Amino acid sequence: MSQAPAAEARVCLLDSGYRRETRALLYTVYRNDPTFAYLLEAHRPGYERRLRTLLREWVRQHFYLQLPAVGLLLDDRLVSVALIVPPLRRLGVADSWAWRLRMMVGAGVRATRRFMAYQAAVSTCRPTDQVHVLPLLGVLPALQGQMYPTQLLHAVQQWCMKNGQVEGIVVDTGNDEHVAFYHTQGFVEVGEVAIGTVRQRVLMYDSAQVSEPLA
């Protein structure tokens, strides 16, 4: 018996009321991510605590700074989210002393420094400052083989192309499958950073490739 096609989710611009759902979703997405496993030293005890701290404090500060977040809701359940940092807000979460202090207390000085160094290294790969950056994004693992990753990126592209004169959207990942997916969505590689043994690819969606804003 064939399965019914997946229902299209509702696109929503999220506010701080979605903080708890956002960090819970991101935890399921990044728990086994190779980049985060290296940065937060998954081989040492306390990895899950360090990861939860990072995501909790990042999401808290993101919404505190009133930075945009696009989500997909399926039957009022958050199933996908993308945090966005516009070009005019480049001094974002990792530049906040409040975030750094809470990270050092909850995740440790070593993890905080490693994560900040990773952020700085990735930023050097961006070909221009006039881009929207996606620091954290993902779809619930159980739904990743369906239409929702594509729907999320399309919603992000819509929002970004309609909010400011920018040259594109930038994302980075150490997951080869994710790199292949981004390629199908019009992203091209613009740089690479070595994160331990992980090849962290930086990809950009060039707004010049569309003649008009996405409908």
The pLDDT of residue 191 = 96
Domains and CATH numbers, the chain: 10-209 (3.40.630.30)
Total Cβ atoms within 10 A of residue 84: 22
Q: What is the largest CA-CA distance in the chain?
A: 55
Q: What angle do CA 78, 202, 117 make, to 5 degrees?
A: 90
Helix or strand run (H / E) with residue 122:
helix 109-123
The answer to whether residues 30 and 55 touch, using CB atoms and an 8 Å cutoff, is yes
The pLDDT of residue 208 = 73
The pLDDT of residue 161 = 83
Closest CA to 87 of 171, 200, 168, 182: 168
The answer to whether residues 101 and 136 touch, using CB atoms and an 8 Å cutoff, is no
The pLDDT of residue 31 = 95
The residues facing 191 across adjacent strands are 202
The pLDDT of residue 78 = 96
Tens digits of pLDDT across the chain (215 residues): 444 457 888 999 999 999 999 999 999 999 999 999 999 999 999 999 999 999 999 999 999 999 999 999 999 999 999 999 998 765 678 888 889 999 999 999 999 999 999 999 999 999 888 999 999 999 999 888 888 999 999 999 999 888 777 889 999 999 999 999 999 999 999 999 999 999 999 999 988 765 444 43
> Please, what sign has the CA dihedral across residues 63, 65, 71, 73?
positive
Angle, in degrees to the nearest 10, between helices 47-64 and 97-106: 160
The pLDDT of residue 3 = 47
The pLDDT of residue 1 = 41
Side chain identity, residue 61? Q
